[in-house]
Structure 1
Amino acid sequence: MEPSNQSTHHPSAAEDIFPIAGLTQPVEILVDRWGVPHIYAQSTYDAFRAQGFNAARDRLWQIDFWRRRGLGQLSEVFGPEHVERDRAARLFLFRGDMHAEWLAYGSDTKRAATAFVEGINSFVELTRSDPSLLPVEFHELGYEPALWDPEDVARIRSHGLFYNLREEVARALTIRDFGPEVEELRRTREPARPLQVPDGLDLSVIPDDVLAVYDLATTPPAFGPVDPTAAQGKVLPEGSNNWVLAGQRTASGRPLLANDPHRAAAALPGLRYLSHLSAPGFDVIGGGEPGLPGISIGHNGQIAFGLTIFAIDQEDLYVYELNPDNPLEYRYQDRWEPMTVVGDSVEVGGGDSESIELLFTRHGPVIYRDQEAGTAFAVRAAWLQPGMAPYLGSMDYMRARDWDEFLAAMNRWGAPPENQVYADTQGNIGWKTGGLTPIRPNWDGTLPVPGDGRYEWDGFYDMDQLPGVANPEGGWVATANEMNLPEDFPEDRHITYDWYAPYRRHRLDNVLSQTTDATPERMSLLQNDFVSIPAQRILAAVRDLPIENAGAVDGLAALLAWDGDLRAESWPGLLFEVWFRRHLRPAVLARAVAQVTDGDPQHVLARIANKEDLLADARVELRLIETPGKELGPDPEQFLAEAVVQTIPAAVADIEQLLGSDRDSWTWGALHVSKAAHPLKARLTGVEDRLLEVGPLPRGGSGDTAGNTAYGPNFVQSAGSTFRLVVDVGEWDSSLAMNAPGQSGNLRDSHYTDLFEPWAAGEAFPLLYSRDKVEEATERRIRLTPRTD
């Protein structure tokens, strides 16, 4: 679809004019009533310049903070307590050849990124001459936004989604302390595969805090004391849903594509940003991250695309023996090999700079070194290879015109690893996985390995060796981060064994397999569907138990009559979540632990179940409840019946402590809420609290439901789909979107939190594409002109 650059002026729309450097011809930005910018340029690169300028106009503090965190420059503004975090971030920067780096994405990614950064810098320069344009955060904390280099976009890697280092280490520590039988109760591996400790790996040398530096590099910093009422969880579950329907399953006969990425849900401003870039031969709209050029989820008037995590194992922890005579050397094959030592300096605001030392082995950054024990640990990560900056690979596929061009572009996709769904105006649909996948010839990646040369990657799989399908016979395909390798996938082609639980996908399968008249509105409802498959299965098992005097168990009848829909107003839903997460799950796991270890079951349970609330992964418990065998002792039915009788009343008492004695007020949404707060709330003391937080609002669902509302121990939503999109392929103006809390990151902007309430209510707004519809909805007009000085 060729964009129209003919303007129909609406006098009621506010108008601003800005001269910016590097622009070759005037650009118009029309901001619609939902805060979505529609950028109309005369060339592709002017569109990217305008995108960068507009990202800075709407999200300057956020992208400046993102850059500082990624480059390891927080201490310069926030003080010496962030020096270690800055050091960690610098360990995980891309440090390779930038020529190879740029070429790995696409032929013009460097040019597009350069134009994007020129746009950001143009706005930053404007703020220096007119400080009133600065967001509040800079005024309050007394610093200026930095100017960007195009390399910043590619070198920063620590904002991605990474697999499977944390699971690798958690598995190793569990086996180290409790044995492999307990590991089978910690987390399900798929496809099923016996655990095998790699030859030469001494689990006892792995320290509990081996990932402390890695965590500093890959998690956001905290400012001020912990708020007990805020969303909880240091490392949040992050996934997505997507699906695509062919015309045979839609009311219109056109394909529909839906995508709702699941990331942290307590962020203010939000992670995603919707925008529309239009120039001759280039007309793409959808969502991306505000600090990156282009669009990663959306459509271009010919094809639509949407992504979810395909959890490729892209990381390994290497364990080294140090030279006792030189702790900067490690054993590799039959020699001592020197580490690479890089000296650096961290600027510290209000103080002297601090010298730091960065160490690297041939495999990657050293994250832990114990000279006394004679050990060191380094991370090998595919995402530190050229072409692996998260989401930058979308620069190629967002401009593809058909399935073949899309596949060619996906061959360049590196990180994060993804399931991409696809649809086009010719009626074609498809699914293609992508991501740089290491070949491990002699181990499966489930545990750390010695770094002495016995365990080396043998290159990477070609994208043709990863699964996908074009025009499936059933007319639809869906993904939800579950194990979705085909049945005939080669056993020795190790992708990962650490997938997310499959229950969101099961619910999508249940609905889509019966759908023949889908509309964008119905698909938007499915994105907000709160039916819990684990709840339905657990209660089905409870119905078959020999429970005596079931009618006397307070709350049991309500549970057994419940349909499993975790609506915010549901009382049985409230009871189920509190009962299962806090009472039944610990009882069942403790019983299973007692069968395989002589240790204190509660001590073991604290270690293996401490993240289960966050992950919402019921695979282990469902196995124990539905097919316990001998895992729950000699009489599992009797144990489960007694556990139900004991734990449901305990859950009712728990709810009374949480919500009070008035049962008429007991609903799931009264306990399970969503709220968001600015990360600098504790430091922005001169700003009204109402500008630094939003919510709470009641929420349905859980981490098990298609409408993912994962939560931590205090039941506040921690992750989920703040960004949602349904594309009506070919009838583009009928597409629907949502992006909470709002499009703007400026505290006093009308679009800062205006979408939070409609998002929480499951609503969506039209994602307008045609120029005439955009003009009708325009509330602000911005004109960018070439700066002539």
Structure 2
Amino acid sequence: MLKNLLKVAAGLLLIAVLALVAGALYLRSQTLPQLSGTLSAAGLGGEVTVTRDQHGIPHIAAQTDEDAVYALGLVHAQDRAWQLDFQRRIAQGRLAEVLGEAALEQDRFLRTWGFQQAAQTALPALSERSRRLIAAYTAGVNAGFAQGKTAPEFLILGYEPEPWTDVDSVAWSKLMSFDLGGNWEQELDNWNLCHKGGSRALTESSPPYPSDGVTILSADELPVTGEDASAPGDACPAGDLNGHLSQLRQHLAAARELGMAAEPSKGSNNWVVSGQHTESGLPLLADDPHLQLRNPMLWYLAELKGDGLSTIGATIPGLPAVVIGRNRQVAWGVTNHNPDVQDLFVLPPNADVTVREEVIRVKGGEDVRLNVEESEYGPVVSKLGDAADAPRLALSWPTLMPGDTTLDAFLGINYAQDWNGFREAMRAYVAPSQSFVYADTSGNIGYIAPGRVPLRQGWDGTLPVQADGEHRWNGWIPFEELPQTYNPADGMVVTANNRSVPQGYPHLLNNDRGWADPYRARRITELLNEKAPLNLADMAQVQNDTFSGPWQDLRADLLGAPRSRLSDRAEAALDRLAAWDGVLATDSQAATLFEWWLRGLKDMGQDEWGQTLSTRAVAEALRTDGPLCAVGGEGGCDEVLAQTLEYAAEQAEQGPFYGRIHQALSAHGAFGEVEALAPIFNTSVAAPGGSDTVNVARPSREDGTLNFTAAASYRQLIDLADPDASLFTGTLGQSGNPLSRYARDQQAGWAAGEYLPMSMDPADWGQTQVLRLQPE
């Protein structure tokens, strides 16, 4: 009897396995695109060859630039159709149409801010060349959509993507600008601090940038006035804005649901060194933008070759250009500059506003009507009450203003042949302000931080202000006076979101609390100087460095924790830390202890101010026995150290080795929290690094782990002496389809600090697949 039952069970299991295999094969047949052979494409001017290398990276060869960009649109649609549509729906505020009521709050936020309207005004302002290339890209995307292969997400949700439009390409650049420009959120935090603790709270929770902190540019590279225009303001205004800010906090929550809110791990490193520091005598350039990890990954690696274009690097699905990379003469890297370009204005009750009605369609529900108001200061992003004269809060931000020509700049640098051409392309740049490093095959290096940065007079943008004559923007910092340098005497430019300008720079970039702590910039500079003369392997070691600057800064104070107040477990933890080398490796137990301890110390600010402290605020409090140590009662900092170490030692027992509880989480935008689908569409991998290491992997999860969701989203290392020896990598893979072999094939190498060839030479591509596109 038992034997027969086992046979039946085995048979049922076999049937289930066969059904799963058949289902997977069916999904593959319906969703995986054609990667080889010949494909007819409507709107194509001439034959194009798309050669995918062993990692699915397309090398596009066309007779014209328009056809090359057309083919980029087509391969984006082949590999990232869902990403294209999902990003477009974010910009349009149309998520609820396909995801239902769960996405309604996100749509309200996105419609209120008006990203799609801003994109519509930007398109006519672009150059004729840009509009021509965007149109070619649009035709390519739609040719890809027309193949009949569809992403699994479309099958699951039961709809097909609408045709792509030129405005859709511009719209996604607006969302990237939001992702990298969070000063409005800082204004919310600052107001909360003022409300709870006055001006003192501002300084204690986030100290101004240190006077001896490393800056990107030195005084001999910029005009100085002797007065520091970036001195932080310290006056908290009278009155209570909490009522105004409640709706805006809802917007912030919605942005976080989309992975768009600012967080400390977002930022980036890039640097460039001239031949005076290299083995070859020609420059080396590195870049690794730190952004939200997601599945599919943000970046798409590609090479474009037409009659004028010859570029390779990181593209973004939706945009018709290499955003970060090189052509045959010049290379560039991009990090967030982060000047304060957003201000919240409290409008008077009688302020003139225009109103437009937005209709949000909700899958499975009733349409929702939304009245969106626009003022001379920008969109009204928060309102107290429904009365006609209710106070309103408006947002000024260059990204939402007409005439944004940023895409002209990105397309322009793809064509640049030298510094003059590169710099001229940067004149068109509007937002988000970025730190660009530059190098060329003639041996030159440079740096520029383009973008519209407002001129303020008599106020610093720290907090929301009244919309009156005293608080207005008076134009933009002139292009020639933006931070920039060419062939600096020291032969090196290092950026890590640290302060870009020295004391005495004549313009206000931000209130001096908006810069990242200088740990990464300091470490990169030290390593580059130590390792010189440099080669590409040295650059890789620097880019993947996981030595903890915060540990170096806090070590003496932490190891001074009072042993008389510690349990045996905490004492053992302290001994382990005393012997630690400060490297946050996946097999380290001390790394686990330190990051738990640092989290506990940063949370000191929650009791006092309602928000987490910066690392330097923790260091300052411990060093001076500052007021924040009062959370330890009469025991002061000693008691705080003892309590937080006990907490760290307890947490570390649950997962002693760092890599077990410190993993890079890449979640799917729609299915990331759907129990049945998350295991298919989400992915994770153990990775080194931590808070403020060069290889940033700051723990960000509040789920009993030290997992992180923002990190180096792309890495590149470019050798101007031998450009085809250059290297790059993404976080996951080229395909957004979990059934594709190219969906996650870069992930393990990324976590281990490995790279792929960034080469235009077919000899470096490995096994290839060739798709020939022919005009229909």
**Which TM-score band applies after superposition, normalised by the shorter structure?**
0.7 to 0.9
1:257 aligns with 285
Evaluate the alpha carbon distance shift between residue 216 and residue 74 of structure 1 in structure 2; reply closer, same or farther with a 3 A threshold: farther
Alignment of 1:69-108 (within 5 A): 69-93=90-114, 101-102=122-123, 104-108=125-129
2:178 maps to 1:158: no
Amino acid paired to 1:785: Q
Q: CA separation of 1:493/1:693 partners in 2, compared to 1, >3 Å: closer, same or farther? A: closer
Q: Which residue of 2 aligns with 1:43?
A: 64
Q: In the superposition, relative to structure 1, how do residues 781 and 443 fare at CA in structure 2: closer, same or farther (>3 Å)?
A: same
2:269 counterpart SS class: strand
Aligned equivalents of 1:442 and 1:216: distance in 2? 32
Give 5+ residue unaligned stretches, structure 2.
1-33, 210-229
Deviation of residue 518 (structure 1)?
1.8
Q: Is the contact between residue 710 and residue 717 of structure 1 (CA under 8 Å) also seen in structure 2?
A: yes
1:355 to 369, 381, 403: 369
In the TM superposition, what is the alpha-carbon distance from 1:555 to its structure 2 partner?
Answer: 2.1
* Secondary structure, aligned partner of 1:24: coil
Report the Cα offset of residue 520 of structure 1. Answer: 1.8
Shift of 1:362: 1.1
SS in structure 1 opposite 2:537?
Answer: helix
* Contact 1:284–1:299 under 8 Å retained in 2: yes
Q: Map residues 547-566 of structure 1 onto 2, 5 A cutoff.
A: 553-566=571-584
Alignment check: 8 A CA contact 2:713 2:731 kept:
yes
Is the Cα contact below 8 Å between 2:113 and 2:379 reproduced in 1?
A: yes
What does the per-residue CA deviation read over 1:439-476, in whole Å, with 9 as the maximum and x for residues that have no partner?
11231111111123431111111221111211122221
- What residue is the counterpart of 1:599 in the other structure? none
Alignment of 1:389-404 (within 5 A): 393-404=409-420
1:703 and 2:731 are equivalent in the alignment: no
Residue 537 of structure 1, CA deviation: 1.6
| Alignment partners' CA distance in 2, 1:76 and 1:473 | 56
For 1:366-765, list aligned pairs within 5 A.
366-371=380-385, 374-388=390-404, 393-490=409-506, 497-542=513-558, 553-582=571-600, 584-586=601-603, 589=604, 603-605=607-609, 607-609=610-612, 612=613, 617-628=614-625, 639-641=636-638, 643-656=640-653, 658-659=654-655, 666-681=656-671, 691-695=680-684, 697-712=685-700, 713=702, 714-765=705-756
Moved more, 482-491 or 678-687: 678-687
Distance 1:142 1:103, change over 3 A: closer
In the aligned structure 2, how far is the partner of 1:551 from the partner of 1:172?
40
Superposition deviation, residue 33 in structure 1: 0.7
Identity of aligned residues (%): 31
1:28 to 1:686, Cα distance in 2 relative to 1, 3 A: farther
Which residue is equivalent to 1:111? 132
* Contact 2:114–2:379 (CA under 8 A) maintained in structure 1: no
Partner Cα separation in structure 2 for residue 44 and residue 564 of structure 1: 49
Letter in 2 for 1:249: H
Within the alignment, does 1:270 sit opposite 2:297 as a pair? yes
Equivalent residue, structure 2, for 1:186: 205
SS in structure 2 at match of 1:86: helix
Cα 1:392–1:684, aligned 2, differ >3 Å: closer, same or farther? Answer: farther
Question: C-alpha displacement at 1:63, in angstroms?
Answer: 0.7
What letter corresponds to residue 135 of structure 2 in structure 1? Answer: T
Task: Report which stretch shifted further, 93-102 or 438-447.
Answer: 93-102
Q: Distance in 1 between matches of 2:62 and 2:39?
A: 14
The reply to whether residue 195 of structure 1 matches residue 212 of structure 2 is no
Which residue number in structure 1 is paired with residue 252 of structure 2?
A: 215
Name the stretch that deviates more: 345-354 or 705-714: 345-354
- Which shows bigger deviation, 485-494 or 668-677? 485-494
8 Å contact from structure 2 (residues 309, 415) kept in 1: yes
Structure 1 CA distance for aligned equivalents of residues 98 and 642 of structure 2: 56
Give 1:106 shift: 4.3
Measure how far apart 1:105 and its partner are: 4.8
Q: 1:20 aligns with which of 23, 29, 41?
A: 41
| 1:298 to 2:325 alignment | yes
Write the distance in 2 (CA, Å) between the matches of 1:234 and 1:100.
26
User: Could you say which residue in structure 2 is the equivalent of 1:10?
Assistant: none
Q: What pairs with 1:233-252 in structure 2 (closer than 5 Å)?
A: 237-252=265-280
Identify the range of structure 1 (160-169 vs 534-543) with the bigger mean alpha-carbon deviation.
534-543
In the alignment, residue 165 of structure 1 is paired with which amino acid?
Answer: W
1:327 alignment counterpart: none
**Distance of aligned partners of 1:427 and 1:182 in 2 relative to their CA distance in 1, 3 Å threshold:** same
Alignment partner of 1:773 is 2:763: yes
Tell whether 2:342 aligns with 1:345. Answer: no
Deviations, residues 627-665 of structure 1 (Å, cap 9, x unaligned):
4577758x9998445544554344222322x23xxxxxx
> What amino acid is the match of 2:487?
N
Partner of 1:334: none
In structure 1, the partner of 2:18 is: none
Shifted more, 493-502 versus 33-42: the winner is 493-502
Return the offset for 1:256.
Answer: 0.8
**Which amino acid is the alignment partner of residue 509 of structure 1?**
T
1:279 aligns with 2:306: yes
Shift of 1:551: 12
Which of 126, 132, 144 pairs up with 1:123? 144
Shift of 1:698: 2.2
Shift of 1:103: 6.3
Amino acid corresponding to residue 357 of structure 1 in structure 2: N
Q: Is the 8 A contact 2:72 2:140 kept in 1?
A: yes
Whole-angstrom distance in 2 between the partners of 1:93 and 1:420: 28
Q: Which amino acid aligns with 2:145?
A: V
Question: 1:595 corresponds to which residue?
Answer: none
1:246 CA displacement: 1.0
1:145 to 156, 161, 165: 161
Give the conservation status (yes or no) of the 8 Å contact 1:711–1:717: yes
User: How far apart in 2 are the matches of 1:239 and 1:544?
Assistant: 32
The answer as to whether partners of 2:130 and 2:407 remain within 8 angstroms in 1 is: no
Return the structure number with greater helix share: 2
| Mapped partners of 1:502, 1:711: distance in 2 | 19
What residue ranges of structure 1 are gaps of 5+ in the alignment? 1-12, 128-132, 223-231, 323-329, 331-336, 591-601, 660-665
CA distance in 1, matches of 2:542, 2:468: 50
Q: Is this contact kept in 2: 1:137–1:684, CA < 8 A?
A: no
1:595-649 deviation per Cα after TM superposition (whole angstroms, max 9, x unaligned):
xxxxxxx6435x122xx5xxxx31111122234577758x999844554455434
Distance 2:522 2:548 in 1: 10
Query: SS in structure 2 opposite 1:557?
Result: helix
Aligned to 1:409, what secondary structure does the other structure show?
A: helix
Equivalent residue letter for 1:355 = R
> Would the aligned equivalents of 1:102 and 1:109 in 2 still touch at CA under 8 Å?
no
CA distance in 1: counterparts of 2:748 and 2:127, whole angstroms: 39
- Tell me how far apart the structure 2 counterparts of residues 685 and 460 of structure 1 sit (CA, whole Å): 49
Q: Distance in 2 between matches of 1:363 and 1:27?
A: 47
Whole-angstrom CA distance in 2 between matches of 1:707 and 1:14: 34
Higher mean C-alpha displacement, 36-45 vs 493-502: 493-502
Shift of residue 547, structure 1, vs aligned partner: 6.4
Structure 1 counterpart of 2:234, one-letter code: L
SS where residue 147 of structure 2 aligns?
A: helix
**What do residues 343-400 of structure 1 show as CA deviations (whole Å, max 9, x unaligned)?**
2322333455433211111111112212369311111111112354776631112211
Cα pair 1:524 1:736 within 8 Å, conserved: no
The 2-side partners of 1:17 and 1:71 are apart by 35
Matched position secondary structure for 1:625 = helix
Distance in 2 (CA, whole Å) between partners of 1:391 and 1:628 is: 50
Paired AA for residue 246 in structure 2: D
**By how many angstroms is 1:16 displaced?**
2.7
Q: CA deviation at 1:172?
A: 1.1
**1:476-503 C-alpha deviation (Å, 9 max, x unpaired):** 1110001121233126565764112221
Q: CA deviation at 1:305?
A: 0.2
Residues of 2 paired with 1:100 and 1:682: CA distance?
Answer: 33
Q: What is the TM-score normalised by the length of structure 2?
A: 0.86
